[in-house]
Structure 1
């Protein structure tokens, strides 16, 4: 659902010949590329702007100093790009000329090594806004990145869980790292046995209609949170076969658990975990701040 790097590798089809452990290993390589080496790698972000309806932001910087590029509120006369969110669409002006909203998907070139991407994002329950990123291909954070740190793959953390759906798809509002709110919908509870203990874990979707649900997510803390696992909790995603909601059972592989992107970057808007697993979950991604890689 959240499309984070490590989690994206979990999608298996009947044609996949690789074992879950092999898919997990490949996912780590993909995650490292998403963080540091791809053109729009997360650690190449210099700054972000989150705009509500009617708000403006100006991109300002020195073409000879890539690290200086940043967003300022409002409309600035010396801006390389002015952006606003009007009637649900991005409105962009570069050098006094309009730029098509569709250009944000691939990137709008600003200066050598600098470009801008963006798109619609949830700002609050029922409210869509605009998120904008400015990327610097010379960003020191990307160059210094050593790779994500994970626990060794342990098949014991791949569990089959009974699924009890929530027929109301009850809305649940999560506070986020940027002081905003994000709404997800409680799709049901997964119950499984791990380390001899029965655990019930709520699972959430980003759509309220069952037909629109393609995957579910858990936002959880555990006994390792703040003690080797990221202090704000971790996420794990559960893929669902098309047209198979509600399933009688789901498979949860905690080896694919991942940190919110906010664990390494201040430029994201991450829900805080709220559900607790009463176990030391030695699976998935570790706290990137706990030890040097």
Structure 2
């Protein structure tokens, strides 16, 4: 499936390389996902956790921490001491508390409050050498059509953490043709207005690409519903690198029966 190198394909590859370096840089940022040292689930009874000061709990008023005398956190630019209540955190929301070089993420995932410390010195981050990937190939840039549902469909999917569930509103699906086959993928709302994101697996999953999921971001559809799926930019979610992520799994219908030999491969960290 290799494509002869031409000025056009060379430019395509250069753009992809720049994009991929940026993606890996965000992943390995000082307090990015590779810096997470633990995933701690909160309960009504206060508990202490490794690498995190104080005793943490959750209840009707939200997440609370009680700090030892002489210990302080910085929350929203303000130093807090003693007992501090973060309030009720919305689903998929979060608040950062700074403790020296450590950033403590206080978040809600799958209806549960969690604490995740992020340490820039975490070995997973320090040793990171980048994510392996297929060579970019214009063959894997596919034009599709966005087909909105009459109403967004609440869609429950599993998670990389056993027993956890995520619920997303699916606004529609994307139909496209690949390797002579008519295929479609259920889409979720993207990170910017009008954009979409697709979680999927395919025949490479668990062989050359991460078994659980891959993520593809799609720009907002054109006026006629046209969308572009660039499978060269299919990425791993954080759970491909660390067990301290709560990533969603794809909807069952998003298991493609073809081998999409494009995008990111299984991280070195998982192969080891």
What TM bracket, shorter-length normalisation?
0.7 to 0.9
2:196 and 2:13 map into 1 onto residues whose CA distance is 21
Aligned residues of 1:184 and 1:206 also touching (Cα < 8 A): no
What's the RMSD between the two structures over aligned residues? 3.1
TM-score under structure 1 normalisation? 0.71
What is the DSSP-based 3-state SS (H/G/I as helix, E as strand, rest coil) of the residue aligned with 1:46?
coil
1:172 and 1:270 map into 2 onto residues whose CA distance is 15
The aligned residue for residue 44 of structure 1 is 35
1:93 and 1:247 map into 2 onto residues whose CA distance is 55
The aligned residue for residue 269 of structure 1 is 246
What is the DSSP-based 3-state SS (H/G/I as helix, E as strand, rest coil) of the residue aligned with 1:31?
helix
2:264 and 2:157 map into 1 onto residues whose CA distance is 22
1:48 and 1:34 map into 2 onto residues whose CA distance is 20
What is the DSSP-based 3-state SS (H/G/I as helix, E as strand, rest coil) of the residue aligned with 1:141?
helix
Per-residue Cα deviation, 1:108-162 (whole angstroms, up to 9, x for no partner): 215xx4x232243332xxx4x4332112332222222111111111112122211
Aligned residues of 2:233 and 2:263 also touching (Cα < 8 A): yes
The aligned residue for residue 200 of structure 1 is 184
What is the DSSP-based 3-state SS (H/G/I as helix, E as strand, rest coil) of the residue aligned with 1:255?
helix
In structure 2, the CA distance between the partners of 1:258 and 1:166, relative to structure 1 (3 Å rule), is same
In structure 2, the CA distance between the partners of 1:138 and 1:279, relative to structure 1 (3 Å rule), is same
1:23 and 1:92 map into 2 onto residues whose CA distance is 45
What is the DSSP-based 3-state SS (H/G/I as helix, E as strand, rest coil) of the residue aligned with 1:117?
strand
What is the DSSP-based 3-state SS (H/G/I as helix, E as strand, rest coil) of the residue aligned with 2:37?
strand
Aligned residues of 2:231 and 2:262 also touching (Cα < 8 A): yes
Matches within 5 A, 1:237-256: 237-240=217-220, 248-256=225-233
Per-residue Cα deviation, 1:7-63 (whole angstroms, up to 9, x for no partner): xxxxxxxxxxxx765443223222322333x220322221122336x4644234xxx
Is 2:53 the partner of 1:34? no
Aligned residues of 2:64 and 2:86 also touching (Cα < 8 A): yes
Equivalent pairs, count: 241
| Unaligned residue ranges in structure 2 (runs of 5+) | 1-10, 70-81, 88-93
For residue 257 of structure 1, report the CA deviation from its aligned partner.
0.7
What is the DSSP-based 3-state SS (H/G/I as helix, E as strand, rest coil) of the residue aligned with 2:38?
strand
Matches within 5 A, 1:87-166: 87=60, 89-96=62-69, 97-99=82-84, 101=86, 105=95, 107-109=97-99, 113=101, 115-123=102-110, 127=111, 129-166=112-149
In structure 2, the CA distance between the partners of 1:160 and 1:40, relative to structure 1 (3 Å rule), is same
TM-score under structure 2 normalisation? 0.76
For residue 286 of structure 1, report the CA deviation from its aligned partner.
0.4
